[in-house]
Amino acid sequence: MVVGDFPIELETLVVGAGPGGYVAAIRAAQLGQKVTIVDKGALGGVCLNVGCIPSKALIEAGHSFEKAHGNEALGITADKVSVDFGKVQEWKASVVNKLTSGVESLLKGNKVDIVNGEVYFVDSNTVKVMDEKTSQTYTFKNCIIATGSSPIEIPTFKFSERVLDSTGALNLKEIPKKLVVIGAGYVGSELGTAYANFGTEVVFLEGAKDILSGFEKQMTQLVKKGLKKKGATIITEAMAKGVEETDNGVKVTYEVGGKEETVEADYVLVTVGRRPNTSEIGLEQVGIEVDERGLIKVDKQCRTNVSNIYAIGDIVAGAPLAHKASYEGKIAAEAISGEKSEVDYIGMPAVAFVEPELASVGLTEKEAKDAGYDVKVAKFPFGANGRALSLNATDGFLKLVTRKEDGLILGGQIAGPNASDMISEISLAVEAGMTAEDIALTIHAHPTLGEITMEAAEVALGMPIHTL
């Protein structure tokens, strides 16, 4: 390994080029900072390369395959629908490549220097950046750490050709006939649904009492109903014990209700959470404080206990969401520039790209009541909306949680088609301190799913038009 003789001086160093890091770098550059970003992998991080984007591409391909079979209720049937999974993977890769090359263009266009290599902290102003051939020392004035997270590996389920993490599941060369999914949170439920749409027999093993535990039971019930229609099996309160790999598949052992059971499949996908990438970058050399889970402790400006070093995204407390990381990246960049920006997660949405889509923002009814609010809950069904009927997608509802005294919108939950897009209006309402009347008085185009938000607001005001 060749070692650089002299340290290179930097102003702002960003470690990690995922949706937190690259956004932080761009915003810092826009604010006049001279920025260098370092990543050992591809630009865009997990999200763009092996996470959010490729998974949504695979989910969309699954939808297309399912729809291609037609719908007898609409008078449409089809014979001999086939799928070339190799071409599906090629298309998915093309989507990823467009975005990652776009990130590179954006960074260069904002005059951000890009360095490839692995970062190790030497002290509070110095890092070493290493690749296979060289090691270079850099000094910096300020640093934003955005190293992301990695899938948790269960000791009895070591990742292999047949025991997959999310990356492995996204890159299969063929559609499995049968797939076991351990963990039915966001990632497991989304990828399991995608393969179920391709005709895979999917078995979910979930340790909790319900799937998608971050969402209300009324919402997850709809998802379970849809999965069962696709032939999926959902086993809750199940503990995965071990796996035996065979020549052409796996045999998974699990315990449920005090009994040990087995299930055979082509592959097993393990999605039991993610761990922060903080253990091997030299944080102890700097004295940066982490909690028992390895998460870096930060203040409201994303600043660590070392005043010139900031941390964002999956390596700090909170849900491991790409849009949370991007938001925190902007806050950290602005704080370094001397602005008074602080994080405020009140309008932070959560979305699961399952069927129907689930989305939530702000407070749920229970959370609002627990916080001491006197609340009014307004609900409107997709089945009473003209656009939903014309889409033949009527399962679901939109719920607004409002403060009874003045109609202030405290939160909202959506289960239904396009929930991922519709939640943004409620996020804006929560963020801006809007009331149900504000939404009800906003003219929504007809016929659209967006009208459901207006209709729910009118329910909250006690004057609904399209429901009794």
Of 456, 457, 420, give the one whose Cα is nearest residue 437.
Answer: 457
Q: Binding residue per annotation — 186?
A: yes
Q: Binding residue per annotation — 190?
A: yes
Q: Binding residue per annotation — 184?
A: yes
Dig out the tokens for 37 from the structure: 């970003």
Q: From edge to edge, which strands make up the β-sheet containing 409-415? A: 350-352, 358-362, 409-415, 397-403, 375-381
Q: Binding residue per annotation — 183?
A: yes
Indicate the residue type of 211. I
Q: Binding residue per annotation — 251?
A: no
Q: Binding residue per annotation — 56?
A: yes
- In angstroms, the CA 347 to CA 52 distance is 20
Q: Say which residues have a Cβ less than 8 Å from residue 259's Cβ, sequence separation at least 6.
A: none
Of 334, 137, 180, give the one whose Cα is nearest residue 272.
Answer: 180
Owner of token pair 């932070």: 348
Q: Binding residue per annotation — 432?
A: no
Catalytic residue chosen out of the listed positions 63, 69, 446, 466: 446
In terms of C-beta density within 10 A (0-12 exposed, 13-18 middle, 19 or more buried), how is residue 271 classed? buried
Q: Binding residue per annotation — 291?
A: no
Owner of token pair 């999974």: 85
Q: Binding residue per annotation — 149?
A: yes
Dig out the tokens for 152 from the structure: 């948790």
Assess contact for 42 and 69: CB atoms under 8 A: no
Angle (deg, nearest 10), helices 21-30 and 322-336: 30
To the query of whether residue 466 is one of the catalytic residues in this protein, the response is no
Q: Binding residue per annotation — 188?
A: yes
Q: Binding residue per annotation — 314?
A: yes
Owner of token pair 């063929």: 174
Strand 259-265 and strand 250-256: pairing?
A: antiparallel
In terms of C-beta density within 10 A (0-12 exposed, 13-18 middle, 19 or more buried), how is residue 73 classed? exposed
Binding positions are 56, 147-149, 183-190, 206, 273, 314
Catalytic annotation, residues: 446
Q: Residues comprising the binding site for FAD? A: 56, 147-149, 314
Query: Which residues are part of a known binding site for NAD(+)?
Result: 183-190, 206, 273
